[in-house]
Structures are given as structure tokens and as C-alpha cells.
Amino acid sequence: MTDHAHADHGHGHVKLEYQPSIPIGNGKLCLWLFLSTEIMFFAGLIATYIVLRFGVPANTWPLPHDVHLVESIGAFNTFVLICSSVSIVLALEASRQNQPGLAKGWMIITFVLGAVFLGVKAYEYKEKFAHGIYPRRPRSLIHEKADIYYVQAVRTELKARFDKMLPHEQEYQARVKELEGKADLSTGEQAELDHLKRELLYRPLFVSLAQWTELKAAKEDDPIKRRQAMEMLADAIYPLHHTLRDQEQYIALLEEEARQLPTSIQEVSSQQASLQGDSDKLKAELAMLIEKSTQLSTQRGKLQEQKDKLKPIEAKPAATSALPRGESFVSLQPAEAQPSPAEQKLIDEIAAIDAQIADLAQQQKDRGVAAGQLDEQIAALKARHEALQGRLDLLPLLKEAEQVGQPHHGLNDFLHGIMLPMRIPSGNMWASTYFLMTGFHAIHVLVGLIAFVLILFYTLDVKKAHVIENIGLYWHFVDLVWIFLFPLLYLF
């Protein structure tokens, strides 16, 4: 019984083991504290993006294709990061099993996958920059809407390029003819030909696209037509046609304009011909008046010569008035010369001719003013005719640049490197948030890659498993952030 009592008494004792701190290492604790701050940071960024994205009016936030985001590329990068998370878990398991070589191999694979992710992201950034999409406005070509400021920006850009091309225009045209005359062109010559053709397009684009729209926006009475002209300019450069139906509607507008322009050209030509006839008639009358005035001037000159040849009557001393005795006075005033009858006749004839010349001069002035006004109207009609014809000649290029059925279209994509200002609603806000979130994420990826490089210098046996585990936690966090970014940026 004593033994039983002692046994019961032994079972009644519980040994407690006290830990001096929480049962995780200091490194992991610091990592979790760091990750908690990073979670709050990215949560704030993502929440801000969600508020901005879904707080704007409907259809005023760019779709992925509007800003050259490709869903398949984003999905590929997501797959790469998921694979990297798997590989770092395998590296941890190899390290715990004391297989340092295998662990190092998986770490190298994780590093390569992370580098692939950054490489793809760099390619996406390059595509944005190549299309004028920057995180800040000074270098960005994005305009929020197609208004008069957008038209002015397009005109200014094309004017600068047109002025730069103009001194070499004839040289470029001659070179284009020379290259087009060759049967076989080398790769370099073909590239040169494409470049020269693109340079020569700056004239029609400046005159028949930018100036045309500017005149429409400034002088069109109908505000709807003014708005439509500016929208057509934006659609020609960087269209936001999301469906095939949108593209077909745009082509229909261009075709309707192509049908109306010949009628307008014919009307202007008729007005120009009519005014030209009136101008020719006025100029013929003006020529007759000038000829008649010349004849009268010649006749007057002859009469003046005859008058000058006539000898005037000599002046007689003026009569002296009676003076007191002893005084005398001699008048110094000569008597007025009286014209002879022949001279008086010539004077009268000259005066009559002067009156006719003055009347003819007034008629010449009136007809000259009228002819000048007609010439101004004719010049305006001629400029209008050239503008209409230039616009008609440009429409086939605009239709071809639409590239119906293609995801990216418009002059900016069709004429590679032209880089004109583009209209993207909320585009600057999108660019700021996109580059901010993906930029910070890319920095975190880069930090992870640096950590991978540093750990590769160690022997990744079981003693270093905790280091791989800590780095793996950080890398899983980076992957998790991308899991949230991918659908927000690429799918909505």
C-alpha cells in the first residue's frame, strides 16, 4: 500500500518548463514584424487603387488593351511566381533533410524564376514607354479627353516635325522615287524607304488632320460637329474601340465623310469658277480704264505742249493815280497776263481731260478694290479646295490605320514611332497607380533576389534551414501581393 501510495503521489507531480520568450526565433519574429508593416503598406495601395478604379464614372477607366497590358503576359508572370514559391518550399525541405546541394539547386531555380518575372515586367514597362505612357505628365502623351487643348497638343507636335522635315522634303521625295524604282531592296534600303515615307506623311498629317480638326473646332457652328471632329482626331491617332462593332462604326464614319467630300469639293470648284469669271471681267474693265486713262494722259500732254508754245500777252504798266504836285509814284504791280483765245481754248480742253482722268481714276480704284476682294475670296476658296482634297486623300490612310480586327490600331501603332498625343480617359491616374504599385512590388522582388544571391554563398544544410524558411516567408508574401495585383490590373 505504501508502494501504491508512492505511485499515486508520483503521478500527481507535473513538471512545468518555462520559456524565456515566445517559442520562435528572433529572426522570424523580426520578419513577421516587418511583413506586418508591408501588409499594411500594400493593403493601403491596393485599397486606394480599388477606390479610384471603381469610383470613376462608367467607361472612363482604361481597359488593359487601352494601355498595352496583355492578360497572357500577366498570367505567365503569375505562373512564374507561383512556381518560384514551390521551388523555395522544395529548397527548404531539402535543407531540412540535410541535402545542401539539392537545396542550393532549388534556390537557384527560385532566383531564375524571380529574374524572369522582373525581365517580363521590364518588357511591359518598355512597351508603356514606347507608347508614351509614363507615370508623370511631363513626358506622358496621355490626355484625359479630346478637347481643344488636345487638338492644340497634336497640332504643336506635328508642326514641329513638319518644320523639321520641310527643308528636306524635295530631297526625300527624290530618294523615295529612286528606292521605289529599284527591283530588289536590301533590308537597310527598305527601312530607309519606310522612314522617308513616314517623314513625308508629316505634311498631310499636319495639314489634313491637325489643321483640319483645328478649323472645324474653331469655326463650326454646330457644337456636336465640333465635338465629333475632335473625337475623330483622337480616334485616328489612338482609338479606344473595344469591339469589332466599334471599329466598323468608325470606318462607316470615314466612308460617309469620303462620300460627302467630293460634293463639297464640286461646290467649292463651282464657286471658285464663278468668282474667277467675275474677277476676269473686272480685270478686263480695269485694263480698258487704264488704257483709256493712258490715252487721255497722252492727249493732255500734247495739249499742254501746245499751250506752252503760245506766247502770252505782255504785261502793261499799271496806271498811276493822281498825286500831289512835285511827287511821282511808279507801280511795281505788273498787270495780269490775259490768255489769248487760243490759249484759253487749250486751258478749257485740258481741264475737261483732267476731269475725265479723275473720273477714270475713281473707277479704276473702285474696280481694283472689287477685284482685290474677289481675289481674296478666290484664294480662300482655293485653300478650301486644297484642304478638302487633302482630307479626301488622307482618309484611305486613316481607314488602313484602323486595322479592323486587331487589338491595337490607329496611327500611333500603324506608323511605328510617330508617337502623337493620345486620348485615354483617366489614363494619367491609371499610369500613376500602375507604376506605383508594380514598381514597389518589383523593388520587393529585387530585394528577394539579392537575398537569394547572398544565401547561395552558404552551405544550405539543416543548420541553415531557418534562414531559408525566413526568406521563403518573405517570398511568399511577395507572391501573394502579386496574386492581388494581377486580377486588379489585368482583368478589370
pLDDT tens string, the chain, 492 residues long: the values are 445 545 445 555 666 665 555 566 677 788 888 889 999 999 999 999 999 998 888 888 998 888 989 999 999 999 999 999 999 999 999 999 999 999 999 999 999 999 999 999 999 999 898 888 988 767 788 998 999 999 999 999 999 999 999 999 999 999 999 998 888 888 898 889 989 999 999 999 999 999 999 999 888 888 998 999 999 999 999 988 878 888 889 999 999 999 999 999 999 999 999 999 999 998 898 899 899 989 988 888 888 888 787 755 444 454 444 545 555 544 445 555 677 787 788 788 888 888 998 998 998 899 889 989 999 999 999 999 999 999 999 999 999 998 888 777 789 888 877 889 999 999 999 999 999 999 999 999 999 999 999 999 988 888 888 889 999 999 999 999 999 999 999 988
Rounded to two decimals, the pTM is 0.75
Residue (of 89, 85, 91) closest to 105 by Cα position? 91
Burial of 445 (0-12, 13-18, 19+ CB in 10 A): buried
How distant is the alpha carbon of residue 343 from its chain centre?
80
C-alpha grid cell for residue 436? 506605383
How distant is the alpha carbon of residue 469 from its chain centre?
51
Segment (H or E) for 143: strand 142-143
CB within 8 A of 172, min separation 6: which ones? 165, 196, 199, 200
Burial of 100 (0-12, 13-18, 19+ CB in 10 A): middle
Q: What is the pLDDT of residue 314?
A: 46
d(CA 66, CA 413): 12
What CA–CA distances, in Å, run from 167 to 164, 199, 219, 457, 478? Answer: 7, 12, 31, 62, 55
R_g over Cα of the chain = 46
d(CA 109, CA 68): 30
DSSP β-bridge partners for residue 422: 142
Q: What is the pLDDT of residue 17?
A: 63
**Vertex 280 angle, CA 370 and 360, to 5°:** 55
